[in-house]
Amino acid sequence: MSLTDLLSPSDIAAALRDCQAPDSFSPKKFFQISGMSKKSSSQLKEIFRILDNDQSGFIEEDELKYFLQRFEGGARVLTTSETKTFLAAADHDGDGKIGAEGITCFKYR
């Protein structure tokens, strides 16, 4: 399964266009524009599984900076401040990594 099986390619493209400039990425806005905020919890968990590059069950800071590139290979890398802000917003237990429940939190924001 790929992200385009769950999200519209045009919505993904629009979300990536919205955050092309460094330090313009907002997880909440990206989730809204890409259509992720409209997905069920089970669909978001499947998206998380696809985004979890090393399949560890978590998205660590190293993986998170390449978040946009998981949607499109040529997308930019998140800046250090964007990565840290995203991590802080979704890391509920402060362990420095995001579990599937961390990603689903953006559905309700």
Ligand-binding annotation for 23, yes or no, is: no
Ligand-binding annotation for 45, yes or no, is: no
Ligand-binding annotation for 63, yes or no, is: yes
CB 10 within 8 A of CB 2: no
Phi/psi for 41 (5° steps) reads -60, -40
Ligand-binding annotation for 97, yes or no, is: yes
**Under the phi-then-psi rule, with left for phi > 0, alpha for psi from -120 to 50, and beta for the rest, what region is 74?**
alpha
Ligand-binding annotation for 41, yes or no, is: no
Ligand-binding annotation for 56, yes or no, is: yes
Helix (H), strand (E) counts: the chain: 7, 2
Ligand-binding annotation for 10, yes or no, is: no
Q: Which residues are annotated as a binding site for Ca(2+)?
A: 52, 54, 56, 58, 63, 91, 93, 95, 97
Q: Which residues are annotated as a binding site?
A: 52, 54, 56, 58, 63, 91, 93, 95, 97
